[in-house]
Every structure is written in C-alpha cells, then in structure tokens.
Amino acid sequence: MIAYSLSRRALLAGAAGAIGLGFAAIAPVPATVDAVTVPEGFTWSSLIGWGDPRRRPGLQSRVHERVPDVLRLGQRCGVEQLRISMAAHGLSVVEVSRRSVSQPWKYDPQGRKNRRITAHTPFKVTGPAAGSSYLKTTADPKATKVLGTLNNCSGSVTPWGTILSGEENFNQYFRVTAAPTNAETASGYQRYGIATEGGRDWYRADNRFDMAVEPNEPHRFGWVVEIDPDRPRRAGRGLPRGRRAIRLGARLHPPGRRQGLPDQDGPARGRPAQPGDRQGVHGLYEQHQPDGRPGRRRFDWAILVVCGNPDDPSTYFSGYDKTKVSPISCPDNVAFDRAGHLWIATDGQPDSIGLNDALHAVPISGEERGHVQQFLAVPIGAETCGPVITEDGAVRPSSRFGARTAARARDALEGRRQRRCR
C-alpha cells in the first residue's frame, strides 16, 4: 500500500489554486510509466507493502481485492499455491501512528490489533437473509456463517467506527463442473457469470467453490461485509440487504446526496443499473432529495461526469469546458473532502484510455462543477484504491500492486512454484 501525505492547504475551503483545490493538475501519465506521480510541491511515501510482517496511534483498514497475475496459479500448479492465493485475498487492519500532522504515517508491525482477514475468516450473516434456504450449505446448514470475503472493492467507515467493504466480481472464484439440474439455480449462475471453464480454479483447493458440490455457495458472496478494527477477536458481519451487484461504488455526501455511477446503457435511461459496470458508459451520477430534506425515499438524479478522453464528443463534464479537464475513466471509489469536493479513484484506465490509474478531484457545485483535475497517478499494474479523508483534512489514497510489487511476489514464490507446478 502507498500512502500520500497532502498538506492542509490543498483541501480546506478557500485554498489557493485555480479551482480551490490547492494543486496544479498533473499531465496524464501513459500506462507505460512505472512510477508514482504527484503535483509539484507534494511528496509520497510507502506505508506498508506486500510481504511486510503483521506482528493511540490509529488503525488503518485496506482491501486485498485480488492478487496480480503472477499469483494466479491456475491448473499448472498444486493446491498449496491455490491456498496461497486464497490467503492473499480479503482485508488487513494495521496500527499506524505519526509524530505530527506534518509527518507521514508509519505502521507498527507489532501492533496488537494488526490482523489479516482472508478467504477463510468467518463472517456472521445478519439481516433478512440470515437462515435463508438460498444460503444453506453442507458446512453451514443454518445459513448463519460464511467463510471469507472476496474481491473487496468500494468501502467506507460507519459513524460507529466499523469498516464496510463491498464484494464485487465474485463469479470468477467459482466453477460449474457439472450442469445444475435446477432451472432456477442454472439461471442464477448465468446471471452471475459463473463459467464452466477459466477462472481461478479455487475449487481444486476447497470444494465449496465447486457448484456441483455446493450449489448455494455463490449466493453467499457479493454482499457488503462489516468488520470492527478495534475488536480483533470479533467475527465480521455480512450485511445481505438490498440488491446485489457485480460492481459496487458509492459514497454519501450530506445533506442527503449520494454519488454513484450511471447505467451502463447511458444517462438517458433515467435509472442506475449495475453501478460501475465497465462494459458501457463510465461516469458518475448524483442523487439528491428534491426538497433538500434528508430521510426522504424519493430522489432526483443528474449526471455529473461521463468519463473518457475529453476530446471524445460522448464525454460530459457538467457543461464545463472540456479543453480544461483531465482525462478520466473507470471511476471506482469516491470520497468527499471538507470543502465538499469529490475525489475519484480509478481502476482500469490502462485498458480503456491507455493511461495509468489515477486520483482526480472535482467540484460538484458552482461555476467549477465538472472541472476534473488529476492529482496523482500510480505505477504500471496498480490501481488507485479508495481515498481516505483524515481529521486534518488530508486525502490519503492507496495503491494496490504495481510492477515492482508483482515482481517481488513472483520472486518470492518462484522456487516453490517450480517444485510444485505440474
């Protein structure tokens, strides 16, 4: 993980700069550049990296959404390597501290609250789905406990201090080795996108990922999970409420506004479908109560940004001059700073617009609404994770993987892979 320290001037209302954000936007960074890029006058530092030990201060939670291709060991390798991949997924909680506001955060490898949450960590099922027949398995006939969390993406901190994390793209972990006889089950697999070949082959290490053995196991993923970073011995909670989605991404902004992502078929549909679906339009929409009163169930909504290269006529930046905005694609996580500006982390720009993934900021009101400005770019093979706004008003994004991280993981496993692979 990479943590980037920003000064307070960059984020407080009234800060200097053309759009009140306190930084000069960086130029787009080609997807061939293996470096972290930040604006002039800013620095970055590494907080914790792949393979670092886990052994007031503060706590930081991060997700291990997926492992790089060098750890996708597939059918060539043995069960031990597949289990390594399973252990690399999930979440981490680490204790961090710093000497002053102007100093970078450092993590304590001996922190008592440090822990890993993997594909085998138990989660308690809560809400109306607890006990459902759709969630019952051989190992969990009461449908109250799910093992593990997978492909964690968008997340947030609750007002009571716990961490929420949304599971996405869970279909890739399962395999249908025999056609289901139940038509409803077969239809569900098709909707999830579970294939009869390809994927990660986890079923070879744990048969609950084989749908012929445990047909209900995929129903137990794709939810929002909750963990308490201050209580390491407490089991996590699954929160199976509302509609499930293959992709997740939204953030609340008082009073009663919700930033999310548009329907894959475009803004004309008038309703959001799969939030963040990269198969169609990439962008952000804004929901708000028409009378400004929180708690109402009815929302109006409007498009904030339709992403892409600004010279593409199909893009939209709330009417802002497109010659002055930064290119952006594949918005993945969002957060608001104290001034109400939206910060957007991306995942997928190398494949969509040929640029390294990035962190952007955009005002959502006034004359500058839609003025997307790029603050940061991450290295080759990395995605920009969810930014965190700390109490001092600083934005602290993180980065998953990268070319050097992938090489480090590959080298660490090379000898074992050569011995075990078939």
Residue pair 346/331 in contact by the 8 Å Cβ criterion: yes
Mean pLDDT across the stretch 199-212?
A: 88
Residue, of 292 and 270, whose pLDDT is higher? 292
Judge whether 191 lies within some domain.
no
Q: How far apart are CA 202 and CA 208, in angstroms?
A: 9
pLDDT confidence tier of residue 350, bands split at 50, 70 and 90: very high
% helix / strand / coil in the chain, to the nearest 5? 20, 25, 55
Length of the chain: 422
* pLDDT at residue 374 is higher than 90: yes
In a domain, 213, yes or no: no
pLDDT at 67: 57
Within-domain flag for 190: no
Q: Is 355 strand, coil or helix?
A: strand
Find how far residue 158's CA is from the centre of its chain: 16
For a pLDDT cut of 90, what percent of the chain falls above it? Answer: 28
Question: Per DSSP, what are the bridge partners of residue 328?
Answer: 308
pLDDT top residue among 404 and 109: 109
Q: Looking at the domain assignment, is residue 173 inside a domain?
A: no
Residue 349: pLDDT band with limits 50, 70, 90: very high
Number of domains in the chain: 1
Residue 280 lies in a domain: yes
What is d(CA 292, CA 271) in angstroms, rounded to the nearest whole number? 20
Say if residue 62's pLDDT is above 70.
Answer: no
**185 is a domain residue:** no
Q: Is 304 helix (H, G, I), strand (E, B) or coil?
A: strand
For 396, the 3-state DSSP assignment is strand
Task: Give the mean model confidence (pLDDT) for residues 293-304.
Answer: 79
Structure tokens at 242: 């509302």
Q: What is the pLDDT of residue 416?
A: 36
Tell me the DSSP string of 6-58.
--GGGTSTT-SSTTSSSSPPPPP-BTT--S-B--TT---EE---TT------E
Tell me whether strands 152-157 and 163-167 are parallel, antiparallel or unpaired: antiparallel
In sequence order, the β-bridge partners of residue 253 are 257
The amino acid occupying position 3 is A
List phi, psi (to 5°) of 47: -100, -50
- How much is the mean pLDDT over the chain? 75
pLDDT given at position 152: 87
Q: How far separated are the first and last CA of the chain, in Å rounded? A: 33
The reported pLDDT for the residue numbered 414 is: 39
Residue 18 lies in a domain: yes
Q: Which domain holds residue 355?
A: 2-168+222-420
Q: Where are the strands (E) in 233-276, listed by range?
A: 236-239, 251-253, 257-260
Residue at 208 is within a domain: no
Cα 371 to Cα 393: distance, rounded to the nearest angstrom:
21
**Phi first, then psi: what are they for 411, rounded to 5°?**
-65, -40
Q: Which residues contact 351 (CB under 8 A, 6 or more apart)?
A: none
Answer whether residue 83 shows pLDDT above 60.
yes
Give the C-alpha separation, 103 to 251, whole Å. 28
**Euclidean distance between CA atoms 356 and 392, whole angstroms:** 28
